[in-house]
Amino acid sequence: MSEILVDVSVTENDILSGRAQHCSDCPVARAIARKVKSDLPVRVSYGHFSLTTYNDPTRIMHHLPIEVTNWIKEYDAFLHVEPFSFSLFLSEELVK
């Protein structure tokens, strides 16, 4: 299973439409969800995110860069945040 580098962009729309302190509807979860196959629910937490496949209840965990975790903490604290981008290595089979 090979991994590829995926660029993820958190947009102004993600920020305005997302929900603070909501693991599957925060701006980062919304941005990652656009990059993975549509049947993979994305859940974000401080320091990592997970994907769960429907045919296998095992969660696939991935670490988030520290700057992403810090951004989420600011968003969850209702502080002003700006759109930003980051990169992740994901298994090729998970990416759209």
Take residue 79 and report the two structure tokens written for it.
Answer: 């502080």
Which residues lie closer than 8 Å to 80 by C-beta, 6 or more apart?
74
- State the Cα–Cα distance between residues 49 and 65, nearest whole angstrom: 11
pLDDT for residue 25: 97
Per the domain annotation, does 95 fall within a domain?
Answer: no
Q: Which whole number is the average pLDDT over 81-93?
A: 95
- Which residue range(s) make up the domain with 73? 3-88
> What is the DSSP secondary structure assignment for residue 24, as one 8-state letter?
T
Per the domain annotation, does 61 fall within a domain?
Answer: yes
Domain count for the chain, please give it.
Answer: 1
Per the domain annotation, does 93 fall within a domain?
Answer: no
Write out pLDDT tens, residues 26-74. Answer: 999 999 999 998 878 899 999 999 987 766 666 788 999 999 999 999 9
Per the domain annotation, does 10 fall within a domain?
Answer: yes
Q: In Å, how far are 61, 64, 78, 92 from 45, measured between CA atoms?
A: 10, 9, 16, 22
CB 70, CB 63: distance < 8 Å: no
Per the domain annotation, does 96 fall within a domain?
Answer: no
Per the domain annotation, does 43 fall within a domain?
Answer: yes
